[in-house]
């Protein structure tokens, strides 16, 4: 993980405890035992994650959240002994990203830290989700399908059917499964539609639609997409 994490927590036991857990994960950890010091550390150390105790001696935790949020968007995970729902709501609405009630398990804390860091990191770059088979490319984000570079137009149902097949690629998907996925529940019995739409997909995507290489029939069961 190797992130820079700042802990603002007045209880030295918990602080050291959380610190060592994070360090075994490969994080670089900074500490502060009160709000004033914490805000300074946050400004100078430029951490990528903030773990904040709400019950600080010098100032209310909510103030700290608002202060940090006025100049930064780093993820904030709140630790607190207060279990009241209103406390959670207040902290989250003040700008916290997660709220963990004490006592908490270290594995859960670490998992939540990982989740926040991962998210932060993944925001940085714009990747794209594309699935390919043969000379076909399916861009799930742009909702675009190309064949040999040329864009292929699919109708709404054709597209939904294709994505259903992609999600289970390799596996055999039953008629009913595909029908409810692409058409919705209540259409499960009209499996005849599948034959019509599979033909259209083959026509648009297969090299020789009569001898499909990827959109395969599993007689008596359903269909399967081979990538």
- Selection from 122, 92, 226 nearest residue 165 by Cα: 226
By CB under 8 A, name the one of 73, 190, 192, 195 that touches its own copies: 73
CB atoms within 10 A of CB 23: 12
Identify what 217 binds: DNA, its own copies, none; CB under 5 to 8 Å per kind: DNA
Is residue 216 within 8 A of residue 178, CB to CB? The reply is no
- Toward DNA, which CB reaches closer, 112 or 175? 175
Nearest distance from C-beta of residue 8 to DNA, angstroms? 23
* Given 105, 170, 186, 220, the residue binding DNA (CB under 7 A): 220
Name every residue whose Cβ is closer than 8 Å to that of residue 113 and which is 6 or more positions away in sequence: 1, 3, 5, 22, 25, 27, 49, 51, 77
Backbone angles phi, psi at 222, to 5 degrees: 175, -140
Min CB(203)–DNA separation in Å: 8
Choose which of 202, 205, 214, 225 interacts with DNA (CB under 7 A): 202
What is the rounded CA–CA span in Å between residue 210 and residue 208?
5
Residue 85 or 150: which CB sits closer to DNA? 150
Q: Does 143 bind DNA (CB under 7 A)?
A: no
CA 166-171-173 angle, to 5 degrees, is 80
Among 12, 172, 195, 203, binds its own copies (CB under 8 A): 172
In whole angstroms, what separates CA 7 from the centre of its chain?
A: 25
C-alpha separations of 109 from 47, 139, 149 in Å: 17, 35, 46
Q: Segment near DNA (CB under 7 A), from 2-10, 62-70, 108-116, 155-163?
A: 155-163
Q: Which helix (H) or strand (E) element contains residue 53?
A: strand 49-53
Residues at the interface with its own copies (CB under 8 A): 33-34, 36-37, 39-40, 43-44, 67, 70-73, 75, 85-86, 88-89, 92-93, 95-99, 105, 107-108, 110-112, 114-115, 118-119, 122-123, 125-126, 129, 131, 140-144, 155-156, 159-160, 163-164, 167, 170-172, 177, 180-182, 184-185, 218-221
Residues at the interface with DNA (CB under 7 A): 153, 155-158, 175, 183, 190-196, 198-199, 202, 209-210, 217-222
């Amino acid at each position: 993980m190797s992130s820079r994490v700042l802990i603002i927590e007045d209880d030295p036991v918990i602080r050291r405890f959380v610190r060592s857990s994070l360090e075994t994960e490969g994080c670089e950890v900074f500490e502060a035992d009160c709000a004033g010091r914490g805000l300074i550390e946050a400004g100078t150390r430029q951490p990528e994650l903030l773990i904040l105790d709400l019950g600080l001696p010098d100032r209310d935790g909510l103030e700290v959240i608002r202060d940090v949020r006025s100049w930064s968007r780093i993820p904030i995970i709140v630790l607190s002994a207060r279990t009241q729902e209103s406390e959670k709501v207040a902290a989250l609405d003040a700008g916290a990203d997660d709220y963990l009630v004490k006592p908490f398990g270290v594995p859960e804390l670490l998992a939540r830290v990982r989740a926040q860091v991962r998210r932060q990191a993944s925001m940085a770059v714009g990747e794209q989700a594309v699935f390919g088979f043969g000379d076909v490319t399916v861009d799930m984000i742009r909702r675009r399908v190309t064949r040999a570079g040329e864009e292929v137009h699919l109708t709404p149902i054709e597209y939904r059917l294709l994505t259903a097949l992609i999600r289970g690629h390799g596996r055999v998907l039953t008629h009913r499964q595909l029908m409810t996925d692409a058409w919705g529940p209540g259409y499960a019995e009209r499996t005849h539609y599948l034959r019509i739409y599979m033909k259209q997909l083959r026509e648009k995507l297969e090299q020789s639609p009569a001898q499909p290489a990827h959109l395969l029939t599993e007689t008596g069961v359903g269909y399967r997409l081979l990538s």
